[in-house]
Chains A and B, each alone.
Chain A
Amino acid sequence: MTTRSWLSLYALLIRTSIKSRMQYKFNFILASFLAALIQISEFLMVAIVLFKFGAIQGWSMHEIGYLFAVMTLSKTLYRTFADEVHHLEHYLVNGELDQLLTRPMPVLLALMPQKFRIMLGEVLQGGFLLWWSLHGMMAAGQVGWSAVPQSLYIIVTGAVILFSIGLATATFGFWTTRITELQNLTEDAARTAAQYPLTLYPKWMSSILLIVVPVGLVNYIPSLYILRGELGVWVLPALAGVALLCLCLSLKFWHFGLTKYQSTGS
């Protein structure tokens, strides 16, 4: 099959997934409402600290808002398309991965559209925050219009990095079956940490957040260039390179992990 037909198949599966969710409208509305509530409360936790204290370690309110917005939007992009990668444990524990293995297509392509998530709340909230922080910094003359396309660009590279981290973490499930605890560390804790400037943390911890679980590359490092003019323009192409590298490595790891899969029964 050509790439084109894979893509059209992928789009078809996503459409089916949306249709199936719409069969239970009350559930869909309830879930969307609660997701928005969770998102708002997450944002308020950061916003309250910012409004009470203003700057954190030399980072202004707008700058931290920007870090948070980029992280939210990258995560949203990743979870919209690949939410089921994050929920692989369910397939491993219930033995449902067996069904996907028998399909005449790559497992990942069968897994990802199982549940396409419409994350309107996150998009609106992240988008608003991005607009608010960029608008504030433009008014102060800190950044120019070029920051807008640059921001959109790093949201995409960030999503690729987050997806790679998520995929690599999920792959560990082929050995351990249960992955929630590990996800807690590599996805939730790491992402929450990167909502603040990494200079807050001790050296060993910020190094981990840049090298081992590179969430710092999603928002912190690009912000150094885009917002503060540090490092250099080379950061942008380098990010694409790193994101691609992360993706290749995690895909390789995923394929290796799949060969070690043992069904757990129903």
Chain B
Amino acid sequence: MLYFTLASKAYARNLQYRGAHMVHNIASAMFGFMYACIWLGLGADYALGDYGTQGMVGYIAFTQAALWVSSFVTNGLGIPQAVRTGHISLDLMRPVHLFSHLMAKEWGQIAYQFVYKSIPIYLVYYFAFSLQLPGKAVTFLYVAIALAGAAYLSICINYLIGASALWTTESSWLYWGNHAMINLLAGFFIPIEWLPGWLQTIAWWSPYPYLLYVPTRIYLGFDDVSYLWGTLLWCVLLTLTCLLATGFLRRKVEVQGG
């Protein structure tokens, strides 16, 4: 119940900024539009593999919308800010585990972003590029599982980034580094099978493909449901890492000021 309240409060807090977020959606939609234009330009001269031009536009549209679930979560789940203000000491004293506490809040944030960012942005592309929805209802179920897994992975990764703020003042660079890896290894702009061999190997040894590529492939109707086992595996691995990191950070806390 506590966790649900934390999540719903995070959701409600964001509702206050609905207007500003809608304006921001225009900027986000522009980004995707630009990427789609690049693929349309390339599609005019080359065949685009399994996807075809229209398929690639659909690919970009879905990844751009899914970014708000599996990539744009709060920087370090707010831990770097808490370290800077000294608030982290209070957070660690609470009778709730730091990880589950911050995660509950982030789920509220992600739920909000799904409703007010992912869906409106996808709708814009849906009409602008005359996209098609998946034919089978079960696809939606698999996509929902893949996206929920991706959101969870993203929460874990950002928790670890946040935890690093206890040891370095430059944790925001890790956040941007993580974004760069998402751009490259999660199939954000280029599907993973088009990366050079060595980069594909790196990608598949990391959790990144499960953030965007896997949900997108499932959504587009490629038979990739078995990838969901990979999502599950990474969820387990990263959960353990997060719990381990919490153990470490509890040993010695240095705050940066007040």
Contacts and interface: CB of A to CB of B under 8 A. Distances in A.
Interface of A: 24, 26-27, 30-31, 34-35, 37-38, 41-42, 44-45, 48-49, 51-53, 55-57, 178, 181-182, 184-185, 188-189, 192-193, 196, 199-202, 205
B174 A34 contact: yes
B34 A53 contact: no
B36 to A, nearest CB: 10
Q: Ordered nearest first, which 4 A-B pairs have the shortest CB separation?
A: A200-B41, A38-B180, A34-B173, A41-B180
A98 B82 CA distance: 24
Binding site secondary structure of chain B: helix
Contacts of B28: 184
Contacts of A44: 184, 199
Interface in B132-190: 168-170, 173-174, 176-177, 179-181, 183-184, 189-190
Interface in B213-258: none
Contacts, number: 89
B42 interface: yes
A48 B196 contact: yes
6 contacts: A30-B170, A38-B179, A48-B199, A49-B38, A49-B190, A57-B44
Nearest to A202: B37
Contacts of B184: 41, 44-45
A24 B41 contact: no
A192 B190 CA distance: 15
Contacts of B170: 27, 30-31, 34
B254 to A, nearest CB: 13
Contacts of B196: 48, 51
A41 B173 contact: no
A189 to B, nearest CB: 5
Interface of B: 20, 23-24, 26-28, 30-31, 33-34, 37-38, 40-42, 44-46, 168-170, 173-174, 176-177, 179-181, 183-184, 189-190, 194-196, 199
A201 to B, nearest CB: 5
A122 to B, nearest CB: 13
A57 B169 contact: no
Contacts of A56: 38, 41-42, 45
Given A38-B179, A57-B45, 13 more contacts: A24-B169, A34-B173, A37-B177, A38-B180, A41-B183, A48-B195, A49-B190, A53-B45, A56-B45, A181-B27, A185-B27, A196-B38, A202-B37
A205 B177 contact: no
Nearest to B169: A27
A192 B34 contact: yes
Nearest to B194: A52
Nearest to B48: A53
Given A30-B170, A53-B46, A192-B34, A184 B24 contact: yes
